[in-house]
Amino acid sequence: MSLLRRCQPLTRQCAKRNAAFSTWGAVRQQQQHQQGSSSSSSSPFDDQKTTHFGFRNVPETEKESLVHKVFANVAGNYDVMNDAMSLGIHRIWKDQFIRSMAPGPGTKLLDVAGGTGDIAMRFLDYCRNIHHDSTASVTMVDINAHMLEEGKKRFQSSPYAKTNQTSFMVQNAEHLDAIESESVDVYTIAFGIRNCTHVDRVIQEAYRVLKPGGRFMCLEFSKVDNPLISKVYDVYSFDVIPVLGQVIAQDRDSYQYLVESIRKFPSQETFAQMIRDAGFSTVGKGYESLTFGVAAIHSGFKI
Ligand SMILES: C[S@@+](CC[C@H](N)C(=O)[O-])C[C@H]1O[C@@H](n2cnc3c(N)ncnc32)[C@H](O)[C@@H]1O
């Protein structure tokens, strides 16, 4: 029986228990706002292409703005909440992500869905500490200006404040209009791709902007491979994280969405195949599972 099927009874139970706080609340709010009406129990999406937003189906055209709203809400508390939700483990994963990248001096990184700059900061620290290099540079792009603003503030009090090693741009990962083709050495996306409407388009854009020989790297939540850990993880995700969101950030809905979106993301194997389908070459199976598969690092080369 697949992991997903094993998880279903528990996730359904949790989703039901949390119904009042589910992402459906956000979806309905948006529909009502757009339609100027307050009631309709049938699905208004029948004649439109739909996608998932957490456990709910929404029109593809609406997902981007719903995701935008989530991250605009969480931006101010994002770093604190990341530590609280992951018990600090996200730091270990991000450190491992950069170690596995092992960037050389002068590397030009594009960090997509860069948020508050965790990957960009670690990348520049690595180049500085390991190579004494100040020629590496990172462009952070994100669809959400609120998240980038938090990142900019952080870099202002860093060793990179008055250098030309950082730049910030509002861009959609699905069409990086301001980024030239074959212009970057490494492309990273950490905990961002599962929020995108068309994951395949994101990977194709990564392929376009990378130089020949360049590397695509993704850090994302993935599928837990141990049944016992999977049960504990489900309880923690659905019963604890939304409550932490409420207590720390006064925002249960956004954190409910975040845990639901994790369950909707493909398995390690499926995602590795999507990366190969976009034209990347992978080494071995193309990924490394972290903490029983709670997260995974995927990597592909543009050969
Ligand atoms: C969970 S945060 C991750 C931030 C950072 N990479 C980190 O690891 O801490 C996800 C980020 O993805 C961004 N995002 C969501 N959809 C996006 C899209 N289509 N294009 C670019 N960024 C997107 C959000 O605005 C948010 O900043």
Lowest-pLDDT range, 7-16, 118-127, 142-151? 7-16
Is the minimum distance from the CB of 192 to ligand 1 under 6 angstroms?
A: yes
What distance in angstroms lies between residue 62's CA and the mean position of ligand 1's atoms? 17
39 burial (CB, 10 Å; 0-12 / 13-18 / 19+) is exposed
Residue nearest to atom 13 of ligand 1 (CA): 113
What distance in angstroms lies between residue 277's CA and the mean position of ligand 1's atoms? 23
Angle between helices 252-264 and 3-17 (to 10 degrees): 160
pLDDT of 218 above 60: yes
Q: Stretch 163-190: mean pLDDT, rounded?
A: 98
What pLDDT is attached to residue 46? 52
Q: Stretch 231-238: mean pLDDT, rounded?
A: 95
Residue 270 binned pLDDT confidence (cut-offs 50, 70, 90): very high
What pLDDT is attached to residue 71? 87
What pLDDT is attached to residue 47? 59
Cβ atoms of 135 and 123 within 8 Å: the answer is no
What distance in angstroms lies between residue 109's CA and the mean position of ligand 1's atoms? 16
Is the minimum distance from the CB of 73 to ligand 1 under 6 angstroms?
A: no
Is the minimum distance from the CB of 253 to ligand 1 under 6 angstroms?
A: no
**Run of H or E residues at 70:** helix 60-74
Residue 142 binned pLDDT confidence (cut-offs 50, 70, 90): very high
**pLDDT digit string, tens, across residues 83-134:** 988 999 999 999 999 999 999 999 999 999 999 999 999 999 999 999 999 9
Is the minimum distance from the CB of 97 to ligand 1 under 6 angstroms?
A: no
Is the minimum distance from the CB of 225 to ligand 1 under 6 angstroms?
A: no
What CATH number matches the domain at 60-302, 1.10.260.40, 1.10.10.10, 3.40.50.150, 3.40.50.720?
A: 3.40.50.150
**Spatial CA neighbour of 275 closest among 224, 216, 192:** 216
Q: Stretch 137-165: mean pLDDT, rounded?
A: 96
- Report the residue count for the chain: 303
Structure tokens at 149: 């603003």
What does pTM read for this prediction? 0.85
What pLDDT is attached to residue 32? 38
Structure tokens at 89: 């483990």
pLDDT of 4 above 50: no
pLDDT of 1 above 70: no
What distance in angstroms lies between residue 39's CA and the mean position of ligand 1's atoms? 32
pLDDT of 220 above 50: yes
Question: Residue holding tokens 């090693």?
Answer: 165
Is the minimum distance from the CB of 172 to ligand 1 under 6 angstroms?
A: yes
Is the minimum distance from the CB of 121 to ligand 1 under 6 angstroms?
A: no
On whether 173 is known to bind a ligand per the annotation, the reply is yes
**Spatial CA neighbour of 228 closest among 17, 26, 10:** 10
Tell me the helix, strand and coil percentages in the chain, rounded to 5.
55, 20, 30
What distance in angstroms lies between residue 115's CA and the mean position of ligand 1's atoms? 5
Domains of the chain, residue spans: 60-302
d(CA 210, CA 134): 21
Please state, for a pLDDT cut of 70, what percent of the chain lies above it: 84
Nearest atom of ligand 1 to the alpha carbon of 113? 22
On whether 282 is known to bind a ligand per the annotation, the reply is no
